[in-house]
Structure 1
Amino acid sequence: MSAPERIPPRSVTVNELLSKGELTVRGRVREASNAVLYCSVSHEGEEAACVYKPVAGERPLWDFPDGTLAQREVAAYEISEATGWGLVPPTVLRDGPYGEGMCQLWIEAEAEPSLLALVEEEEPGEGWKAVAFAEVGEGRTALLVHADDERLRRLAVLDAVINNGDRKGGHLLPVSGGRLYGIDHGVTFNVEDKLRTLLWGWAGEPLTAEACAVLDALAGGLEPGSGLATRLAELITAAELDALRGRVASLRSSGRHPEPSGDWPSIPWPPV
């Protein structure tokens, strides 16, 4: 599948294009567990590539209400934008060829030095953070590490806020210019602790001054009656919104990255 070459123009914002444009299905991402359709979206003579995930194509999960994953993806985008970090591609909820669903700008990842690795050393090398030991076959183990990268660290904070239950390596999309996006945020915002991620390298360490400032601003933005809270109330339940506020408050109070609770598998499977 080849993406349309033109970037969304300045005269039409990306969100307008995604929300109002005509969706044309071009193919399907078959390795995904839910229906993920690769589309083009056109509006006022402009075109871009996007991903469309119809609610009708969602696989039921035992721990999430049916038909809510698309809304959670949009809610994750809303929180990402509120942080100012722009870690989630533009994402909207809209009607499409197969009913209501999530529509997200397609991001073409660029090759760059790996953000994740398996090493045979007991300790991570310089510039890397340890996650956990993993079996690699024939009775051998290796240390899973991720880059000590400020982009990943911001994403780790975002995941803690939204309670991301599925931060895999394949959900990290570096692009030209040094920017990094995270995708696939359907299993988020649960009231119970569901944080599963490959980005545990900073667990227990103090949050950066930048992250603390972002969390302070986010707490204010989540006050009842605010624009952000009103938008989120249309996407997640009242209990989930309260739990979101609680996670932000907890992070601000501790001033540290969360650690695995031990009550839930801390690393997603498969990890990529």
Structure 2
Amino acid sequence: MSAPERIPPRSMTPAELLARGELTVRGRLREASNAALYCTLAHEGRETACIYKPIAGERPLWDFPDGDLARREVAAYEVSEATGWHLIPPTVLRDGPYGEGMVQLWIEATAEAELLALVDGEEPEPGWKAIGFAEVGQGRTALLVHADDARLRRLAVLDAVINNADRKGGHLLPTADGRLYGIDHGVCFHVENKLRTLLWGWAGEPLPEEAVTVLKGLKDSLAPGAPLAVRLTGLITPAEIDATRARVDALLAGGTHPEPGGDWPAIPWPPV
């Protein structure tokens, strides 16, 4: 009798490794406003670096009384995955050395052409979009601009959907393979309009055809009982899921990138 055929093990996705691996804390990111721990994960011979943000290390926020920041980070990842743009690193909710928290794949950012800049003059150069004027000291101001980059534009659409209240320059991670990731999505999904971002350069402009197609897909995925809506249940509140549906509907109905409102600061502080 011949030996049974050996079936090679199925390769594990990054999200599966994040969920199953043994989590070891290596250090802490001191600049983070909430506990953010640099860790390694090991499972069946594979190892990777990650960020672990335990719920126990979160600071209460007056304007986000429902849910918690870790679950919002996971919810943002789920919406990003549903777009097909994969703009947020793999992120899971799991137990760890300091209790339940968000665990996200570590992304090694690389230097590349600038995404943000301060320039003289009142109009941006070709290839750049104006954000607004910023004080640079000694009574001088400069124009803050971001690159007219398709990756940033996708992120601007995602931020409008998830109502990101804190899109800073330091939350943009370009990688060596040309990808761009956004991180730190703990203050998203509020039922009130709280969009604060540096990516206002397309405000009022028509949405690209690609974005309209993605938004139509999100609308279907967010319908009650649909896959994305089910995954968001337990991560954010029913009212926040309804508000997310309403934002997608509004973007499709208006057909343009949102513009800053007057009830909430449009640009996060500090911007970088």
The answer to whether the superposition gives a TM-score over 0.5 is yes
Amino acid at match of 2:114: S
Q: Deviations over 1:181-233 (max 9, x none)?
A: 00000000000000000000000000000000000011001010012101101
- Corresponding residue for 1:107? 107
C-alpha contact 1:58 1:67 (8 A) present in aligned 2:
no
Residues of 2 paired with 1:145 and 1:181: CA distance? 19
Q: Distance in 2 between matches of 1:12 and 1:239?
A: 34
TM-score by length of 2: 0.96
The answer as to 2:180 corresponding to 1:197 is: no
**Which residue matches 1:241?**
241
Query: Structure 1, unaligned stretches of length 5 or more?
Result: 1-8
Q: How far 1:114 moved relative to its partner?
A: 0.7
CA distance in 2, matches of 1:16, 1:160: 28
* Percent of aligned pairs with the same amino acid: 75
Q: Could you tell me how far apart the structure 2 residues matched to 1:112 and 1:169 are?
A: 14
Match in the other structure for 2:23: 23
Correspondence 1:11-160 to 2 at 5 A: 11-65=11-65, 68-160=68-160
Number of matched pairs: 264
Aligned residues of 2:18 and 2:104 also touching (Cα < 8 A): yes
Return closer, same or farther for 1:66/1:38 CA change in 2, 3 Å cut-off.
farther
The CA deviation string for residues 150-202 of structure 1, in whole angstroms up to 9 with x for no partner, is 00000000000000000000000000121100000000000000000000000
Distance 1:164 1:185 in 2: 7
Query: CA 1:246–1:66 in structure 2 vs 1: closer, same or farther (change >3 Å)?
Result: closer
**Deviation of the 1:67 alpha carbon:** 5.8
Q: Quote the Cα distance in structure 2 between the aligned partners of 1:10 and 1:27.
A: 32
Q: Find the aligned partners of 1:180 and 1:266 in 2 and give their Cα distance.
A: 23
- Give the C-alpha shift of residue 120 in structure 1: 1.1
Q: Which residue identity is paired with 1:183?
A: I
Distance (whole Å) between structure 2 residues aligned to residue 207 and residue 67 of structure 1: 31
Q: Give 1:6's aligned residue.
A: none
- Which amino acid is the alignment partner of residue 225 of structure 1? G
Where structure 2 has 5 or more consecutive residues not aligned to the other structure, the ranges are 1-8
In structure 2, C-alpha distance between the alignment counterparts of 1:260 and 1:206, rounded to whole Å: 15
Aligned equivalents of 1:85 and 1:13: distance in 2?
A: 17
Q: Please identify runs of 4+ aligned residues in structure 1 that moved more than 2 A.
A: none
Q: Deviations over 1:53-89 (max 9, x none)?
A: 0000001111002661000000000000000000000
**What do you get for the CA RMSD once the two structures are aligned?**
1.1
Which of the pair has more CA radius of gyration? 2
Q: Distance in 2 between matches of 1:146 and 1:267?
A: 13
Counterpart mapping for 1:158-237 below 5 A: 158-237=158-237
